[in-house]
Amino acid sequence: MDKVIFQDQIGRVLVGDKVAETETTLTVSDPKVVHTEMGQNGKISVHIIPVYFAEILEKESDKNNFWTYNKNAIVLGDVDVSKDLLEKCEIINKPIQKTEETNVISIDDIED
């Protein structure tokens, strides 16, 4: 699938896999918000945040969730996104596979 980058109506920059496109809509799979902020040291930090976390989806078949955006509410970008950013986007929304060795601790088990 082709990656697409766009800005939504509230100014978030999103990256996703283009699933379908009509004259009025754009449908993407597993969109991620690319959030940038200036740190106190003057360096820019980039955070990649899924629009919807795969861990809270009920069925395994829903892991590739689709989102449809109205084109009159977004701005499509015509840029080449860095390969590093795209690679990081790929690993997000892939739930950690639990094994028998996975140690899960409840917050109630933590003592002061």
pTM: 0.71
Q: What is the pLDDT of residue 96?
A: 58
11-35 pLDDT tens trace? 999 999 999 999 999 999 889 999 9
Could you identify the residue written with the tokens 């918000």?
33
How many separate domains does the chain show?
1
Q: What is the pLDDT of residue 81?
A: 81
Q: What is the CATH number of the domain that holds 64?
A: 2.30.30.100
Q: Which domain holds residue 45?
A: 3-109
Q: What is the pLDDT of residue 9?
A: 92
29-82 pLDDT tens trace? 889 999 989 988 989 888 888 888 766 766 665 556 889 999 999 999 888 888
Q: What is the pLDDT of residue 73?
A: 95
In a 13 Å sphere around the CA of 69, the CA atoms on its Cβ side amount to: 26
